[in-house]
Amino acid sequence: MLRHETLKSKWEALKQKISAQFGDGEMLDLDAIIYLIGVQELGQGYRKFKKDEKVNLMHIAICRVLEPLGYYEFDFFDDDGWPHYKVKEEIPFLKPGEQSVLMKEAVIEYFMEKKLI
């Protein structure tokens, strides 16, 4: 239970900080924060992205935050500067709530690694 409470308080603090900076007065959810990580990892700054690019940005972010857990490994940058990852280990089947906890923990670790929280 302590782990759950710690995760919840860290997640709320992270959401507050990121939302204050990027949310235009709205509280960002997990998907929005993952999207922002994708933009950051792409490293091309903010611009208008096409729908398929937005999906790819979220994929980049998911790969990047799950990389330290051993699920993905950076492979290469393509000619357009987009990072590509390869699967190292399949993610086990998780219930939706478990997926959310895994992603929140990974996102928190990402921001701690970047010294943003």
C-alpha–C-alpha distance, residues 16 and 104, integer Å: 14
Three-state DSSP state, 117: coil
Tell me which H or E stretch contains 84. strand 83-87
Give the pLDDT means over successive 10-residue stretches in the chain (117 positions): 76 94 92 96 90 96 97 96 96 91 96 87
Q: How far apart are CA 33 and CA 38, in angstroms?
A: 9
Q: Give the model's pLDDT for residue 24.
A: 87
How much is the pLDDT for 1?
46
Residue 100 corresponds to which tokens in the numbers above?
A: 């959310």
